[in-house]
Amino acid sequence: MKMILIPLRASLVLLLLCGVVYPLVTTGIAQVVFPYQANGSLMTQGNTIQGSMLIAQSVDSPKLFHPRASNAKYDPTASAGSNQAVASDTYLADQKVKVEEWRKANPALQTVPADLVTGSGSGLDPDLSPNGALAQIPGISKATGIPEATLTSLVQSTTKGRSLGVFGEPHVNVNELNRSILKLIQ
Amino acid sequence: MGWIQIAITLLIIMLFVKPMGSYMVKVFSLETTRLDKIFGGLERGIYSLIGIRENEVMGWKKYLGAMLLTNGFMFFIMFLVLVLQGHLPFNPDGIGGMPWAQSFNTAASFITNTNWQSYSGENALSYLSQMLAIIFPMFTSAATGFAVAIAFIRGLIGRQDNLGNFYVDMLRSITRIFIPLSVIVALFLVFQGVPQTLAGAVHAVTLDGKEQTITRGLVASFESIKHLGTNGGGWFGTNAAHPFENPTGLSNLVHILCMMLLPTSLVYAFGLMIKNRRQGWMLFGAMSAIFVVMLLTVTLAEYKGVPALQSLGIEQGNMEGKEVRLGIAESALFTTVTTAATTGSVNNMHESLTPLGGMVPLAEMMLNNVFGGKGVGLLNGLLYLILSIFISGLLVGRTPEFLGKKIEGKEIKLAAIALLVHPLIILVPTAIALAFPSTVASISNGGSHGLSEVLYAFTSGAANNGSAFAGLNANTDFYNISIGIVMLLGRYVSMICLLAIAGSLAMKRVAPVASGTLRTDTPLFSGILIMVILVIGALTFFPALALGPIAEHVSLMQGVSK
């Protein structure tokens, strides 16, 4: 009997310690110390929540920057990568179409930034590479009337470098860019 | 810059090895240490709740029994929570119960430290399930692996069949290592942007005037133990590629450090415990050599990308399935680390790696001993070590000995079972899955890549890794049940064999070192060990790899000349 009761009690005690006490205590501390991040880095305007700074949004308007293509259709309740096999012929054909679209939209484009034609890992990537954002400027300038130079300096000032100058890659948050554009339009 | 960030990360990993390894030795010491003053009160309270005495020792059979029974009860609790989650509290998003086959798969996955997920957390698990069926076993499965590894080392150096006390080992690794580190790491991750809230999903009207529902949860407390315990499951379906799980380059660094911290220090701790640090470093060196080759391969392959795409005018490098803030170098490094440490989390989609890039995680899981997960990796490394000693003993005509103890028929038989079970439970189910149209239907990409999808799934299960070529639809009864069984066998068969070896070695007399003793702590022996690992690994898996990623790579190269 003791042979059965001891492992059973051990399981239950650890369940309580690791499964209940630990996550709840951590939540308590996090909510007090970092409330903004702990609740999902939400963007708000007045009382409306406009989304999370860290989550890409679906954008159709030609006046705004477009985030990377999303296999999750920008739905955070079903994050998904493309899971394409990059060496396959179908993938090559798809990429060809996308590259041609970008060339048409921006004839000045030399090499197409990779992030514009590839799917992200999460389907919710909120960032573009600096080049990926710059490539969209001519179209946005035409649609909004904001001079290209203004948009270029907006992208440059919004771009974040690597963490501590070392880790990750330079990137620019599309939500942040679009919030600035909406302010400029008003 | 990519190579520099990789080099700096590896350097930081090395800085932690010695202090953490020494700390571990103290944690598991059978004698009283200063740590008892700090943690002793809480631990004694828990011992009396459970009903055990701290100084009660166990032989290998008792140790094994305690481990299996405890894991069994936990498995049962997790299964129930998953099936019944729709009726239980902490379910702000109103998620229903999980079907039984998937619940079996999920419970098997998390109790075995695999963290294979045939579901997406954001739409299939309640917060209670995340806490009780996921976070809880993330601690205990890692602790179980640790306990067994420590018990094995005690067997190696022991004079009698006394492997310590399973409950004490498991509890100490949780109270003295996992919980303190998890809390600190979780808070750092929140600081970087990882959510940590009991509130449910939030509804938003986006900047372009669209509706969006943003799922959140207790993500940070999940992420920290997921990587410290080399578990690897994601709160969200896309794991550490999801911006909420891994929002910055810095969070990515912390994830990588957490994964490597304990597996690498454990190898050092092994050297300290057997009072032969050279032996520890020898093993460390062999593992590192394989690790570096793997890392170089995947990084170069991803930076090179697909030549046919570059000729279309796309920037060089493969960004499909990768996140901009992380980029190619961090993704390649993460891929190598997550399959070396058998974590199985991903910060990029492995399915979209280039063929050679995708072969690296497969190969690392097939070898299953490049540092490896909590304890289990060291154990697999030691298995190969025993085998190498045996083989070189035969070659030079000496009695094979390790740490002065004779390696005889019984130990070799058990080691052979433990090693052979791994390819068996990968290749047989892969063959079965490929034989029937109904199971082939789960494959998303055609040709060699499709074969890799299935091969990857069973390799991941057998190695208790948990990463995936995620295109495969693994949420069918066949895959849920078969991968579930593979995970359980992959975990417990080798643990049973190892504890039996430990019990047998513990009883043996120690022969003094003489001029005839085969030295196992030299660079030469490191080389032999690497060769044995590669020969066994290559002979077993080469045919399957040739049909999958290698065939795909060859056709990719042909595409260039086309």
Q: Hey, what amino acid is at B381?
A: G
What is residue A69's predicted lDDT score, i.e. its pLDDT? 92
> Tens of pLDDT along B61-81?
999 999 999 999 999 999 999
Indicate the burial class of B54 (C-beta count within 10 angstroms; 0-12, 13-18, 19 or more): middle
> Tens of pLDDT along B323-366?
999 999 999 999 999 988 878 899 999 999 999 999 988 888 88
> Tens of pLDDT along B199-210?
999 999 999 999
From the candidates A6, A14, A116, A124, which should be mutated to test the interface with B, based on the most B CB atoms within 10 A? A14
Q: Do A37 and B191 touch (CB under 8 A)?
A: yes
Partnered with residue A52 across adjacent β-strands are A42
Lowest-confidence range among B190-199, B347-356, B365-374, B424-433?
B365-374
Q: Do B140 and A75 touch (CB under 8 A)?
A: no
Average of per-residue pLDDT across B420-441: 91
Tokens found for residue A43:
């963007």
Across all residues in chain B, what is the average pLDDT? 91
Predicted ipTM beyond 0.90: yes
Q: What angle do CA A164, A169, A170 make, to 5 degrees?
A: 85
Average of per-residue pLDDT across B8-12: 96
Is the pLDDT assigned to residue B561 strictly greater than 70?
Answer: no
Is the pLDDT assigned to residue A170 strictly greater than 70?
Answer: yes
Chain A with chain B: Cβ pairs closer than 8 A: 381
Lowest-confidence range among A84-93, B83-92, B509-518?
B509-518
Is the pLDDT assigned to residue B102 strictly greater than 50?
Answer: yes
Which residues of chain A does B449 touch, with a Cβ-Cβ cutoff of 8 Å? 85, 87-88
Compare all CA atoms of chain A with the CA of B62 and give the residue at the minimum distance: A3
Q: Where are the domains of chain B?
A: 2-561
Q: How many CB atoms lie within 10 A of CB B527?
A: 15
Specify the residue for token string 């992200």. Answer: A120
What is residue B560's predicted lDDT score, i.e. its pLDDT? 47
- DSSP helix/strand/coil, A136: coil
Contact assessment for residue A66 and residue A57, using Cβ atoms and an 8 Å cutoff: no
Q: CA dist A9 to B39, B51, B73, B128, B138, Å? A: 20, 8, 9, 20, 18
Q: Hey, what amino acid is at B518?
A: L
Backbone φ, ψ for residue A50 (5° rounding): -100, 5
Confidence of residue B265 (pLDDT cuts 50, 70, 90): very high
Specify the residue for token string 């003295």. Answer: B176
To the nearest 10 degrees (0 to 180), the angle between helices B249-273 and B2-27 is 40
Lowest-confidence range among A80-89, A149-158, B296-305?
A80-89
Distance from CA of B425 to the nearest CA of A (A): 25
Count the residues in chain B: 562
Give the per-residue SS3 of B157-224: HCCCCCCCCHHHHHHHHHHHHHHHHHHHHHHHHHHHCCCCCCCCCEEEECCCCCEEEECCCCHHHHHH
Distance from CA of A121 to the nearest CA of B (A): 4
Partnered with residue A160 across adjacent β-strands are A171
What is residue B310's predicted lDDT score, i.e. its pLDDT? 87
Is the pLDDT assigned to residue B562 strictly greater than 60?
Answer: no
What is residue B375's predicted lDDT score, i.e. its pLDDT? 63
Partnered with residue A43 across adjacent β-strands are A51
Q: Do A175 and B207 touch (CB under 8 A)?
A: yes
Tokens found for residue A48:
């409306």
Distance from CA of B55 to the nearest CA of A (A): 15
Average of per-residue pLDDT across A20-48: 95
Distance from the Cα of residue B346 to its chain's centroid? 12
* A153–B contact, CB cutoff 8 A: no
Give the per-residue SS3 of B437-471: HHHHCCCCCCHHHHHHHHHHHHHHHHCCCCCCCCC
Q: CA dist A18 to A33, A39, B191, B379, Å? A: 22, 22, 22, 25
Lowest-confidence range among A52-61, B74-83, B377-386?
B377-386
Distance from CA of B293 to the nearest CA of A (A): 22
Lowest-confidence range among A103-107, B281-285, B558-562?
B558-562
Backbone φ, ψ for residue B431 (5° rounding): -60, -45
Average of per-residue pLDDT across A53-82: 93
Across all residues in chain A, what is the average pLDDT? 93
Average of per-residue pLDDT across A70-78: 92
Q: CA dist B478 to B96, B482, B486, Å? A: 22, 6, 12
What is residue B372's predicted lDDT score, i.e. its pLDDT? 66
